[in-house]
Amino acid sequence: MAQTKTALKPSDGETEDLAQQLADLRADLTKITNTLAEMGSKRSEAAVESLRGSAQALRDQGEQSLKVAQARAQNVTQQAENAVRDQPAMAVGIAVGLGFLLGVITSRK
């Protein structure tokens, strides 16, 4: 029975080898952890840049839509002014009619 106990006990060389393998494993795990952290950071930065680009595109699109709306409003205003200049009597009649309708609507409370 003495021989079975010594057969199960690892030698000093095996213990050192196992210790080295564990140290290598720890180093590999540290490298993997660092790589994953870098990947996460890069993806986070890429996502932020993508969102900034999208926000800028939306801002540009909004500014363009505002310019178009302002141009249309100016055009409608100019047309209204031209209509009043060309037909002042009709413009006064329309204004009187709208005033009368608003008076009737607000007085029925």
Q: What is the DSSP letter of 99?
A: H
pLDDT value, residue 59: 95
Task: Quote the number of domains for the chain.
Answer: 1
pLDDT value, residue 80: 87
* Distance set, CA 60 to CA 31, 47, 67, 68 (Å): 43, 20, 11, 12
Residue 42, domain member (yes or no) = yes
Residue 16, domain member (yes or no) = yes
Residue 68, domain member (yes or no) = yes
Distance between CA atoms of 87 and 89, rounded to whole angstroms? 6
Residue 97, domain member (yes or no) = yes
pLDDT value, residue 1: 46
Q: Give the mean pLDDT per block of 10 residues along the chain (109 residues).
A: 57 86 94 92 90 94 96 93 88 90 84
Residue 7, domain member (yes or no) = no
* Distance set, CA 77 to CA 63, 70, 83 (Å): 21, 10, 10
Residue 6, domain member (yes or no) = no
pLDDT value, residue 6: 53
Residue 45, domain member (yes or no) = yes
Residue 1, domain member (yes or no) = no
User: What is the domain range of residue 26?
Assistant: 12-107
